[in-house]
Amino acid sequence: MHSGKIFFFSPVYASPREEGRHELWRELKNISRGMVGEWLLAGDFNDIAHPSEKRGGIPAQQRRCDKFLDRINDCNLIDCGATGPKFTWRGPAFQNGDRIFERLDRALSNDDWRLGFPNAVVKVLPRVNFSDHHPMIIALFGFDYAQRPSYFKFESAWLLEESYAEMLEASWSGTNSIQERLSNLAHEIKEWKNITIGSVTKKKRELLARIGGVQKKLQTERRNNFLFRLENELQDELAHILKMEELMWFQRSRAKWLVDGDRNTRYYHLKTITRRRYNKIIMLRDVHGNWVEEVEELKQMANDYYKTLFAADGSVVNWYQTAITFPRLLDDELQMIGGVITDDEVKRAVFSMSPWKAPGPDGFPAGFYQKSWGIVGQSVCEFVKQVWSNPLCLRDINYTDICLIPKVDQPETIQQFRPISLCNTLYKVVSKVLTNRIKDTINKVVSPHQSGFIPGRSIHENIVVVQEMAHSMRKMNGKVGYFAVKVDLSKAYDRLSWKFIYHTLMEVGYPMEWIDVVMTSVTSVRTNVKWNGDRAEYFHPQRGIRQGDPISPYLFVICMDKLSHLITQCVQEEAWKPMRA
């Protein structure tokens, strides 16, 4: 290879018969046990890993899929994934014209190969007439050679440097606004890390080379106290660098756990590469069903889709006051919700957040505030109090990155992604404070029909109710029966009217101070679609709430409870007859 890298490659054609596949995997298992180095396998495995990888004909057996997955795991292999058409094989046509489609072709690799080729992409190409299979191309270094912009992100590993606290304190001093301080700090950190830390990988390589040289020298000299002390100092410095490297990859991997005293750097590195590859979008179908591969065209297509989704549809929404309304909260409960912001509740909000989740556009995760609270804490508290008295202050920090998370293994359209909003942590602190103030009383406001996101309730309760209803309906006799309607609200968060949110919160009777801050947080947002790590143009939504905003689940269940009010009103007016399971 032109890069000088060497790896083992095994082209595969598995037998359509189970006996032949059994023999193939027995041989592959033997090879895997003795494999030293990077190993890639690709071809027709004549098997599927999940029932969703088959369409048409007799449904796939889960046992067959599990056996295939067990064989992959026994050889310590991982699926490299693919982009393009989901199914790679087309069966013959039946009499009615239907066909069977399956994903029989794929690429597998061991961990060494995945780490060695982190940008590799498997692409399924269009099928040609002389074959039932789609060809695949494996681009070892990816298809997008353009260097994406580098955005600032705070690294937890920086906290290990002794000079970090001194640098932070010097940068944070002054009377500037907290937004200006964060911006200046990001600039200061870039200069500071180049002087103090530099590249962790480069430093590790240099230390290993120096340690190797010292150890080689010690083997030829009987006694040299200076070299013994030097080796110990270098080993201590190497341990420090290895810990930084582990924290760096842990933060990027989005892993949920960390084993103290155990070097998990390889695991976190592999998890990071796998996550990035899974989330990387190479090609999608447009509204006409045509495949789009150009990076700028894809980015524009995604941004335009969400601009349209979050745009007001032009319909006139008139508020209709139902006879059934929300129960009234007690005066002391309302006073607590609308009371003055305290430093303690701001601190509780900050320290209740997961420290190293993906940050918003400013690059500072909750872990930065938690670990630096002694220096930055007072500024955070003052900002939240300022927002409470002047909600328009939120405009300066209310910027959001929309990250697209695939809902399916091999997405083909933009609708098959879940938009997760990455809000700035400073904004989330405000939202968390607002949420905590209504959390203890939300179960009094929302009717028992709503079970999701309510403390003390479980969504599984409604599943039991549905099962009991279905059971009762099956046992019913007579000419007059019942029917059940399951409503799937497509893009429910994204289409929620801001006027409806405001009128609903007013009907609940929340204090105006709290409502003003909530509505400003909802309506002042600027957002963009972050495409494979590259930001698109910011735009201003006109409706919807954000997945990833702490207050959003509570706003959604409160608004959805108006549907419960309408149903209850219809029952009381005897327009609907309730069913008792």
Binned at pLDDT 50, 70 and 90, residue 19 comes out as: very high
Q: Which of 76-90, 120-134, 212-226, 411-425 has the lowest mean pLDDT?
A: 212-226
Q: What is the 3-state secondary structure (H, E, C) of 64-106?
A: HHHHHHHHHHHCCCEECCCECCCCCEECCCCCCCCCCEECCEE
122: number of Cβ within 10 Å: 21
Q: Average pLDDT for residues 105-133, to the nearest whole number?
A: 86
Find the radius of gyration of the CA atoms of the chain.
29
* Predicted confidence (pLDDT) at residue 200 exceeds the cutoff of 70: no
* Predicted confidence (pLDDT) at residue 119 exceeds the cutoff of 50: yes
Closest CA to 351 of 425, 277, 297, 290: 425
Q: For tokens 């679609």, what's the residue?
A: 529
Q: Which of 262-271, 353-362, 464-473 has the lowest mean pLDDT?
A: 262-271
Predicted pLDDT of residue 124:
87
The mean predicted confidence, pLDDT, of the chain is: 85
Please count the residues of the chain: 581
Predicted pLDDT of residue 542:
93
Predicted pLDDT of residue 18:
92
Predicted pLDDT of residue 99:
83
| Of residues 329 and 314, more confidently modeled | 329
Buried b (16+ CB within 10 A) or exposed e, 439-454: eebbeebbbeebbebb
Q: Average pLDDT for residues 490-502, to the nearest whole number?
A: 87
Binned at pLDDT 50, 70 and 90, residue 250 comes out as: low
Predicted pLDDT of residue 275:
55
Is the distance from CB of 236 to CB of 211 less than 8 angstroms?
no
Rounded distance between C-alpha atoms, residue 440 and residue 454, angstroms: 9
CA 140 to chain centre: 25
Binned at pLDDT 50, 70 and 90, residue 543 comes out as: very high
The SS3 assignment for 431 reads: helix
Q: Average pLDDT for residues 520-547, to the nearest whole number?
A: 91
Please state the φ and ψ torsions of residue 123, each to the nearest 5 degrees. Answer: -120, 125
What is the enclosing helix (H) or strand (E) of 466? helix 460-475
Q: Average pLDDT for residues 424-432, to the nearest whole number?
A: 96
Q: Average pLDDT for residues 435-464, to the nearest whole number?
A: 86
In this prediction the pTM is: 0.70
* Predicted confidence (pLDDT) at residue 53 exceeds the cutoff of 50: yes
What are the residues whose beta carbons fall under 8 Å from the beta carbon of 92, sequence distance 6 or more? Answer: 99
- Long-range contact set of residues 186-189: C-beta below 8 Å, sequence gap at least 24: 186/152, 186/362, 186/363, 186/364, 189/152, 189/154, 189/158
Predicted pLDDT of residue 262:
44
Rounded distance between C-alpha atoms, residue 387 and residue 177, angstroms: 13
**Angle CA(457)–CA(459)–CA(460) in degrees, nearest 5?**
105
Q: Average pLDDT for residues 159-181, to the nearest whole number?
A: 88
* Predicted confidence (pLDDT) at residue 193 exceeds the cutoff of 80: no
Q: What is the pLDDT of residues 256-315, one digit of tens each?
A: 444 434 445 555 555 555 555 555 677 888 888 888 888 888 888 888 899 998 988 777
Predicted pLDDT of residue 236:
83
Q: Which two tokens stand for residue 459?
A: 């969504």
**Angle CA(424)–CA(430)–CA(436) in degrees, nearest 5?**
125
Rounded distance between C-alpha atoms, residue 217 and residue 415, angstroms: 62
Binned at pLDDT 50, 70 and 90, residue 558 comes out as: very high
Q: Average pLDDT for residues 12-31, to the nearest whole number?
A: 94
* Predicted confidence (pLDDT) at residue 487 exceeds the cutoff of 80: no
Q: Which two tokens stand for residue 345?
A: 């509740």
46: number of Cβ within 10 Å: 20
* Predicted confidence (pLDDT) at residue 439 exceeds the cutoff of 70: yes
Q: Average pLDDT for residues 333-361, to the nearest whole number?
A: 94
Which of the four CATH numbers 3.40.50.1820, 2.60.40.2140, 3.40.50.620, 3.60.10.10 does domain 8-139 have? Answer: 3.60.10.10
Q: Average pLDDT for residues 6-17, to the nearest whole number?
A: 93
Please state the φ and ψ torsions of residue 410, each to the nearest 5 degrees. Answer: -135, 80
Q: Average pLDDT for residues 409-425, to the nearest whole number?
A: 88
